[in-house]
Amino acid sequence: MLTIGQMARSQGVSTKTLRHYDSIGLFSPTLNGQNNGYRYYRPEQIVMLGRIVWLKQLGMALDEIKTLAADGGLDSVEKMHAVLQNHAVQLEADINRRQKTLGHLHRYLAQPERKMPDLQKPERVFFAAQRIIGMCWYPEDEGSIPQMWDRFEAREHEIERLEEPVGTFGICQPLADGQWRYIAGLPVGADAAIPDGLTAMEIPGRYYAKVEHHGEVTTLPETFRAAYSEWLPSAGMQPDEGIEFEYSGARFLGPMHPESVTEIYIPLK
């Protein structure tokens, strides 16, 4: 029989690790001394512990290893192979997610330092109801809102848009289940047909706080945050739950143009 220290040294783990494995029912000693409480292991258990340590090094969770062991998988080449194939797929998906996150981080670090927009006084305006036909993006969708705009621009010619207003709308619409969707769209009349794959919705006629975003659209979130956290409270305005939208009209010179102006409309109580 092997002591807990000898078993631990055989696979390069600590005795604390072996006690933990025992406590969760993953790897238990063959015998516990009645008088001294010592743990004793059979020599053939070295192979089983080695497989557990190896799977742990491959990134498998202890719960997964325990499930595999309970199913006899640690002694079955076929079961071990199937589990490792599934684990490889999960690892690849995790690596892809982390690479995407790393790409976002690198792009953020490469940008010049951003400052909060200069203080603005919001303008209380009434915006008349307007029907919109456009393309939807949901937070769980693949890709980003800018990528969706690229796809939408390629289909703008399919929409029978109004001559006025001349610009485009980016609309954030709260949904009944607490979720939200973003719509890139064009203003249309009541009878305009809806092309396949696009959707129609209406911006409600009501009072809004109107502010302006100056510069690249990549910094739009900073303007929204400043409007909600500083500009509206300073003006004594209270935002309401409802559709908020961006309007890119005649002063919009392009998404990355430093002198572009985008109008932002926030619903008011």
Q: Give pLDDT, residue 246.
A: 97
Would you state the pLDDT for residue 112?
67
Query: Cα separation of 175 and 259, whole Å?
Result: 33
Evaluated on CA atoms 73, 78, 81, 83, the torsion sign reads negative
What pLDDT sits at residue 48?
Answer: 92
Residue ranges in the chain whose pLDDT is less than 50: none
Q: Looking at the structure, do residues 131 and 258 belong to the same domain, yes or no?
A: yes
Same domain, 131 and 86: no
Judgement on whether residues 152 and 212 belong to the same structural domain of the protein: yes
Question: Is 95 domain-assigned?
Answer: no
Enclosing domain of residue 145: 123-267
Predicted TM-score of the model (pTM): 0.63
What's the number of domains the chain is made of?
Answer: 2
Q: Residue 78 belongs to a domain with what CATH number?
A: 1.10.1660.10
Cα–Cα distance measured from residue 97 to residue 58, given in angstroms and rounded to the nearest whole number: 18
Q: Is residue 257 part of a domain?
A: yes
Last residue of a domain, one of 90, 105, 137: 90
Q: Each residue of 205-257: pLDDT tens digit?
A: 999 999 999 999 988 989 999 999 999 999 999 999 999 999 999 999 999 99
CATH number of the domain bearing residue 167: 3.20.80.10
Q: What's the pLDDT score for residue 114? A: 65
> Are 137 and 83 found together in one domain?
no
Cβ contact 130:203 at 8 Å? yes
